[in-house]
Amino acid sequence: MISLSVGILNLLPLPPLDGGHLAILYVESIIRRDLSTRAKTWIINAGAAVVLLLIVTVLYFDLLKQAWFKNLVE
Q: What is the mean pLDDT of the chain?
A: 91
User: pLDDT per residue over 18-49, tens digit each?
Assistant: 999 999 999 999 999 999 999 999 999 999 99
pTM equals: 0.74
- Report which DSSP code applies to 36: P
Q: Alpha carbon 49 to chain centroid distance?
A: 7
The confidence score (pLDDT) of residue 20 equals 93
Predicted confidence band of residue 9 (pLDDT cuts 50, 70, 90): confident
Q: Are 17 and 10 in contact (CB under 8 A)?
A: yes
The residues, ordered by sequence, that sit 6+ positions from 64 with a Cβ below 8 Å of its Cβ are: 70, 73
The pLDDT of residue 52 is above 80: yes
